[in-house]
Amino acid sequence: MAEEKRVQGGHSSRTSGETLAVGNAIGLAIPAPKDESGFIPITKDLGIIPIPRRLRYDPKRPAHFGLLLNATFGIASTFIVANLYYCQPILIEYSKSFGVTYDEVSRIPTLVQAGYAVGIVFISTLGDLVRRRGLLLVLVFISASLTIGLAVTNSLAAFEAICFLIGMVSVVPQILMPLAADLAPPERRASALSIVLAGLLLGVLIARVLAGIIAQYASWRVVYYMAIGVQYVVWGMLYLMIPDYPAKNAGATYFGILWSMAKFSVTEPQLIQAALINLASSACFTNFWVTLTFLLGGAPYNYSTLVIGLFGLVGMFGVAMAPVVGRVIDGLVPWFAGVIAILWLLVFQAVAVGADGVNIAAVVLVCIGLDIFRQMVQVSLTSSVFGLDASARSRLNAVLLLSLFMGQVMGTSVGTQVFTQYGWRPAAALSLAWTGFMLFMMLLRGPHVRRYTWFGYEGGIEARKSRLAERERLREADAEAAVATNEAGSADVEEKQIDCKELRREEAGEDEKRAVVDEGRPAESLVKNVLQLLTSLRCIDS
């Protein structure tokens, strides 16, 4: 908790020479003179654009992270991540327009996703190094401007190169996700993350729908003209809504950030556990949706391409449930939320195994269940991993996303191969096995183990955050009471020791005065000496 407060409100305004060089090179912000407290306020983005006064960072009055700002994060995620998916339903139109084969245009989605993966590693991690307001504005502006090239070019090679670059800079949601975790109160973190994630998932759906409809009734280039306008609107929205915050890691370097990300991926048990679960979860999800197309297109359903495409809209129900999912996770320890979600995924995967040709309602039910509980797994894992190090959330998020990409590749390749050779039920059984692996990995580590514990259940199995917080408060109160008792006891001992020293000094003075008198009365002198000895022993005991 102390670390989170440092990240949210106690950022240092000092950076190393390399950090300043990175920030100035992309024109993130311009500092103003120091105020009376020594704090250097930032007044301009990109070197020339003034930051609205209400959005400037003030450590005395930090910005409020409310529902409106959270929704802004979600909307921005929707229309930026859509850049990755506009191309998928209009590949045939590309082929006709550029006069090339389907095989050649099939490289476009691959290049966009490859650019996105590169951006996750090398650009989104800048969120742990520079001011994120400026970084977000730069990325959205570049993305919108590059999209102009997609709308006007007549060269397939140029189109592919621009797609790769747009994929690189479309990592805005992966900067907003850690930023939401930083700004939201701990008791609302899962809800905040679920809204941003819902926006991202909505972007995947809405991009395909919009691109398909527009290309059906107009040129495919109109899709990108629309995307240009939407992205510039998002830029304006972020400019007016995103509060400015200092860089999180004063003195860090870019290569140091990349090295630490690699180090996290092999030294953090909780991150490795979450990444493996994410990999299996993504493989299950991709396997289901890819093979679902073959299932619905064959007997006994024999649905058209349009009807099959509409099944993607079933995912809207999962998006709508995002706030509910977030609230549930906010009330539970993330580990328990993940276990509950995985158990439900096992149920729906089992239904999927038996749904082949039985009833279309079973297929719809599985679509809804997988969307909701996969989202619950992802939010719970992200929330728990973000708790490892508040100053490294962009890097931790990058590792999680790379595992998702690997899972998508595994689910697409292996799942399709199993379906074509053996059919729907073996492919669904493969997803069921992957879900069982997720549960196994989750159960290896308990909910309250220490950070670097690889296996075990130390710390108990309390499920509710409120109970856990109450237990922590009681523990802190007991510790404070023990300290106070020890301090009080020490004060009493010191007081007794002082009294004894004074008593010894008084007795020594009296002894000198009575020495002459006692020489003639040996019996009385012996009694007095015994009494003095007893007094000294009492002082020593105290």
**CB of 63 closer than 8 Å to CB of 55:** yes
Taking CA atoms, 537 is separated from 500, 504, 509, in Å, by 10, 11, 19
d(CA 74, CA 194): 9
Measured in degrees and rounded to the nearest 5, phi and psi for residue 49 equal: -95, 120
DSSP characters over 367-404: HHHHHHHHHHHHHHHHHHHHTT-GGGHHHHHHHHHHHH
What is the torsional sign of CA 199, 202, 203, 206? negative
Q: How does 225-262 read in b/e, with b if 16+ C-beta sit within 10 Å? A: bbbbebbbebbeebbebbbbbbbbbeebbbeebbebbe
**pLDDT given for residue 168 in this prediction:** 94
3-state secondary structure of 520: coil
What is the torsional sign of CA 369, 371, 373, 374? positive
Q: Residue 482: how many CB atoms within 10 A of its CB? A: 10
**pLDDT given for residue 152 in this prediction:** 94
Whose structure tokens read 């679509």? Answer: 367
Range with the lowest mean pLDDT among 102-106, 285-289, 350-354, 534-538? 534-538
Q: What is the tens place of the pLDDT at every residue in 78-90? A: 999 999 989 888 8
Q: Residue 178: how many CB atoms within 10 A of its CB? A: 27
Q: Please report which confidence band the pLDDT of residue 27 belongs to, taking 50, 70 and 90 as the band edges.
A: very low
Q: Please report which confidence band the pLDDT of residue 491 belongs to, taking 50, 70 and 90 as the band edges.
A: low
- Rounded to 10°, the helix 360-386/322-331 angle is 50
Q: What is the tens place of the pLDDT at every residue in 497-540? A: 565 556 556 655 655 555 544 555 555 555 555 556 555 555 54
- Rounded to 10°, the helix 424-443/334-354 angle is 160
d(CA 251, CA 130): 11
Q: Please report which confidence band the pLDDT of residue 404 belongs to, taking 50, 70 and 90 as the band edges.
A: confident
What is the pLDDT averaged over residues 96-122? Answer: 88
**pLDDT given for residue 458 in this prediction:** 76
What is the pLDDT averaged over residues 487-491? Answer: 58
Q: What is the tens place of the pLDDT at every residue in 424-446? A: 889 899 999 999 999 999 999 87
Q: Smallest Cα–Cα separation from 163: which of 174, 184, 179, 149?
A: 149
- Of 308 and 340, the one with more pLDDT: 340
Q: What percent of the chain has pLDDT over 70?
A: 76
3-state secondary structure of 331: helix
Q: Please report which confidence band the pLDDT of residue 65 belongs to, taking 50, 70 and 90 as the band edges.
A: confident
Beta-strand (E) ranges in 87-218? none
Q: What percent of the chain has pLDDT over 90?
A: 25
Range with the lowest mean pLDDT among 62-66, 72-76, 401-405? 62-66
Using only C-alpha atoms, the chain has a radius of gyration, in whole angstroms, of 33
What residues form DSSP beta bridges with 534? none
Q: Smallest Cα–Cα separation from 428: which of 342, 337, 349?
A: 349
**pLDDT given for residue 389 in this prediction:** 85
In the predicted structure, residue 3 carries a pLDDT above the cut 60: no
- Of 451 and 107, the one with more pLDDT: 107
Q: Residue 502: how many CB atoms within 10 A of its CB? A: 10
Q: Smallest Cα–Cα separation from 377: which of 441, 452, 425?
A: 441
Q: What is the tens place of the pLDDT at every residue in 173-194? A: 999 999 998 888 887 888 888 8
Tell me which H or E stretch contains 69. Answer: helix 67-81
Q: Residue 269: how many CB atoms within 10 A of its CB? A: 17
Share of the chain residues as helix, strand and coil, in percent rounded to the nearest 5: 75, 0, 20
**pLDDT given for residue 4 in this prediction:** 47
- Rounded to 10°, the helix 91-98/156-169 angle is 140
**pLDDT given for residue 171 in this prediction:** 94
d(CA 512, CA 159): 108
Which domains are delineated in the chain? Answer: 63-252 (1.20.1250.20), 264-463 (1.20.1250.20), 470-541 (no CATH)
Q: How does 151-171 read in b/e, with b if 16+ C-beta sit within 10 Å? A: bebeebeebbbbbbbbbbbbb
Hey, what amino acid is at 330?
Answer: D
Q: Please report which confidence band the pLDDT of residue 201 belongs to, taking 50, 70 and 90 as the band edges.
A: confident
Q: Residue 537: how many CB atoms within 10 A of its CB? A: 10
- What is the reported pTM? 0.73
The pair of three-digit structure tokens given for residue 416, joined into one six-digit string: 């399709």
Q: What is the tens place of the pLDDT at every residue in 127-165? A: 888 889 999 999 999 999 999 999 999 999 999 999 999
**pLDDT given for residue 222 in this prediction:** 94
d(CA 540, CA 542): 5
**pLDDT given for residue 232 in this prediction:** 97
